[in-house]
Structure 1
Amino acid sequence: MSFVQFLSDHRPSRGALARAGAAAVLAASALAVLPIAFAAEDPVVIAPPKMDMPASTAQTETAVFAGGCFWGVQGVFQHVKGVTKAVSGYAGGDAAGATYDKVSGGRTRHAEAVQVTYDPKQVTYGQLLQIYFSVAHDPTQLNRQGPDTGTQYRSALFPANPAQRKVAEAYIAQLNQSKVWPKPIVTTLETLPAFYPAEAYHQDFLLRNPGHPYIAFNDLPKVEALEKLFPASYHADAVRVTR
């Protein structure tokens, strides 16, 4: 195993950093100065969806995406043109379980998720899906994402309406048929009784903490991949939840 591969396979998880204490955080910070291309999963170049949402006159639409730690998923969508808001939160469970301490136990049915509000005249649901599958996460990892494991880190979409579900189903079938990944997509399509915003300290975490070891290893490469692979969709001035 190469040293680069070792680093890639041993990226610090949020829980591990919290448990290990200051010494481990300092060590991880030192490793973070290495080229971050070695850190996150490689982005995958994929074709746009053949089916997309019909033209809409609505000023805004919403979509909910889950793909591992919500810090990185939020950070990616905050840099997408046409996105007016991206909120980290919890989807798939009830209100009583929608706290970080409870969700982290993996027993509340929630997934860490991001609710994206967007202008459908500037960016379509299909384009958001392409970014989600290409750079925001790895859709072939079951109940995990990078260094984080558990059902709360599952790959899942929570369609807001039947039209979104139809587009998502068609795109997953299209991507599986194209075999751009060596393994099948495990992304689930789930109902969304409600979306629960996460605690304030989770919001804009990537934007506020670019030097955090977890962010440097796992999430900043995703934003860089967005800029590289989707230059027409990239917006340097990220939208924020907090001001």
Structure 2
Amino acid sequence: MSQKRRLAGTQSSQSRVFMPNEVVMEEDEDVSFTQPSSSQLQRGLDRLTPAQVDRKVAEVVQFILIKDQKKVPIKRADIVKNVIKEYKNIYPEIIKRANMKFEKVFGFQLVEVDPKNHAYILVNKLEQNPRQPAVMSPGHPKTGLLFVILSVIFMKGGVVKEPVVWNTLKKLRVDQGEKHEEFGDVKKLVTEEFVRQRYLEYTRIPHTEPLEHEFRWGVRAEKEVDKMKMLEFVSQVHDQEPQTWTKQYKEAMAAKGGSSRS
């Protein structure tokens, strides 16, 4: 009987080995979290002093700023486990105040990009903060490479097959098959790091043999990148007016109008 138990325990632990860490964390840490009701939230606030709430808000802001350095979505489970802890019943209020602090002090906005798994990213609010995010400046090596890829996708109508990206980069002497002195493993950078950071989406094209993939803008790019500025950059490269590309110009103008209303 004890042997059966040990065998069952071994099988259970082996099955967990093949489960991604994020999935394990999601099940173990976030499944028990329930959004507090308004009455629960108010009772929680009544039990705390303003100084206690402010201190917890400051801790959350610091935690998110540090986690954001990797440019990957920040899970609610991580925030609750590492910072919120026993303050779970006032979680919505803490996040609300943290977001206000991000906007007023840093010019950022905390955006939930994955409502199902409750993951956030920090977005640079360009209208409030004149310092543009790195992705808007082709001067930095990695962000310059990303900028090129995003511009290709934008100018090609929002989606491109994978070979289009590699052929474009090859013209810039960046080859996916060679280790680059600045970027290292280029394919890993583009298809894993930029995707993990939500700047790019890299998806399989159904019913293709051999297997093909395509690229789109990721949610972070949609939130951070000013399409009109990108079109102006492309126009300068080609010595043309932005209006030359009618479809892209209309899209950039529509995006600008939407951001000005938000």
TM-score when normalising by structure 2:
0.22
Structure 1 or 2: more helix by fraction: 2
The structure showing larger relative contact order (alpha-carbon pairs under 8 Å, at least 6 residues apart) is 1
Larger-Rg structure: 2
